[in-house]
Structure 1
Amino acid sequence: MFVKSFNHNIRYNYIYNFCSFFGVTALWVLYLTHRGMSLVEVGLLESIFHVSSFLFEVPSGALADRLSYRAVLILGRVCAMISSIILIFSHDFLWFAVGFIISAWSYNLNSGTTDALVYESLRCLNQEKRYIKVSANVNALYELADTLGIFVAGWFVTAYFEGVYWIQIAISMLAILSVLMMREPRKSQRKEEKVTSYFAILKNAALFLKENGQLRFLMLFFALFEGVAATYYFYFQSLVDGYGFKGYQISLLMIASAVFQIIGAKISPQIERWAGQANLILYFSALLCGLLILTFVNQLPLLIGCFITLNTLVSVSQPIFSNYFNALIPSSSRATLLSVSSMLFSVAMIVLFPLSGWLIEQLRFTVSFGAMGMALGLVMVVLTIVMKRRAR
Structure 2
Amino acid sequence: MLNIRKQLSRLYLSSIISNLTITGAWLAILASRGFSLVEIGITETIFHIVSIIFEIPSGVMADVFGRKKMLIVSNIMLTISTVTMIMSNSFFMVCLSISFNALSYNFSSGTGDALAYDSMKKGRIAGKFEKYESNQLIIYRVFSGISTLCAGFALAIGYRLAYATDLIACAAQFFILSTLTEVNLKETRHNKSTLAKIRDCFRESFLFLKDARKAMGLMLCNSFVGAVDILLLFFLQAKLTEKGIPNRWLGPALLFMELGGVVGSKLILKLPKLSYKTVFAFTAALVLAGIGLEHAESCLIMAMGGFIAAVGDDALQVRTNAKLQKMFPSGQRATLTSVESLSFSLIMIVLSPLAGYLLPAGNNKRALSDGQGSFLTK
* TM norm structure 1: 0.86
Change (3 A) 1:297 1:31: closer
Change (3 A) 1:97 1:320: same
The correspondence for 1:106, drawn from 104, 107, 112, is 104
The correspondence for 1:164, drawn from 151, 162, 165, is 162
Q: Secondary structure at the match of 2:184?
A: coil
Q: Secondary structure at the match of 1:162?
A: helix
Query: Mind listing any 5+ residue stretches in structure 2 that lack a counterpart?
Result: 365-378
The correspondence for 2:7, drawn from 6, 9, 13, is 9
Query: In the alignment, which residue of structure 1 is the partner of 2:72?
Result: 74
> Percent same amino acid at aligned positions?
24
The correspondence for 1:21, drawn from 19, 22, 42, is 19
Q: Which 10-residue stretch deviates more, 211-220 or 132-141?
A: 132-141
Deviation (angstroms), 1:287: 2.4
Q: Is the 8 A contact 1:231 1:353 kept in 2?
A: yes
Give, as a single letter, the amino acid of the residue that structure 2 aligns with 1:197.
K
Q: Output the CA distance in 1 between the equivalents of 2:147 and 2:156.
A: 16
Change (3 A) 1:163 1:315: farther
Query: In the alignment, which residue of structure 2 is the partner of 1:86?
Result: 84
1:259-298 aligned at under 5 Å gives the runs 259-271=259-271, 273-298=272-297
Query: Mind listing any 5+ residue stretches in structure 1 that lack a counterpart?
Result: 366-392
Query: In the alignment, which residue of structure 1 is the partner of 2:373?
Result: none
Q: Which 10-residue stretch deviates more, 6-15 or 308-317?
A: 308-317
Q: Is the 8 A contact 1:51 1:350 kept in 2?
A: no
Q: Output the CA distance in 1 between the equivalents of 2:250 and 2:296.
A: 21
Q: Output the CA distance in 1 between the equivalents of 2:278 and 2:362.
A: 34
Looking at secondary structure, tell me which structure has more helix per residue: 1
1:313-392 aligned at under 5 Å gives the runs 313-361=312-360
Q: Output the CA distance in 1 between the equivalents of 2:199 and 2:297.
A: 51
Q: Is the 8 A contact 1:257 1:312 kept in 2?
A: no
* TM norm structure 2: 0.89
Q: Deviations over 1:317-336 (max 9, x none)?
A: 22221111101100010000
Q: Is the 8 A contact 1:6 1:185 kept in 2?
A: no
Q: Deviations over 1:48-91 (max 9, x none)?
A: 10111111101110000010111100110111111111112213
Give, as a single letter, the amino acid of the residue that structure 2 aligns with 1:127.
I
Q: Output the CA distance in 2 between the equivalents of 1:260 and 1:317.
A: 13
Q: Output the CA distance in 1 between the equivalents of 2:361 and 2:20.
A: 35
Q: Is the 8 A contact 2:233 2:257 kept in 1?
A: no
Q: Output the CA distance in 1 between the equivalents of 2:287 and 2:145.
A: 24
Query: In the alignment, which residue of structure 2 is the partner of 1:214?
Result: 214
Q: Aligned pair 1:256/2:256, yes or no?
A: yes
Q: Is the 8 A contact 1:22 1:146 kept in 2?
A: yes
Q: Across the two proteins, how many residue pairs are aligned to each other?
A: 361
Give, as a single letter, the amino acid of the residue that structure 2 aligns with 1:24.
I
Q: Is the 8 A contact 1:54 1:346 kept in 2?
A: yes
The correspondence for 1:37, drawn from 12, 18, 35, is 35
Deviation (angstroms), 1:359: 4.3
Give, as a single letter, the amino acid of the residue that structure 2 aligns with 1:280.
V
Give, as a single letter, the amino acid of the residue that structure 1 aligns with 2:307.
I
Give, as a single letter, the amino acid of the residue that structure 1 aligns with 2:150.
V
Q: Output the CA distance in 2 between the equivalents of 1:359 and 1:144.
A: 27
Q: Output the CA distance in 1 between the equivalents of 2:104 and 2:189.
A: 32
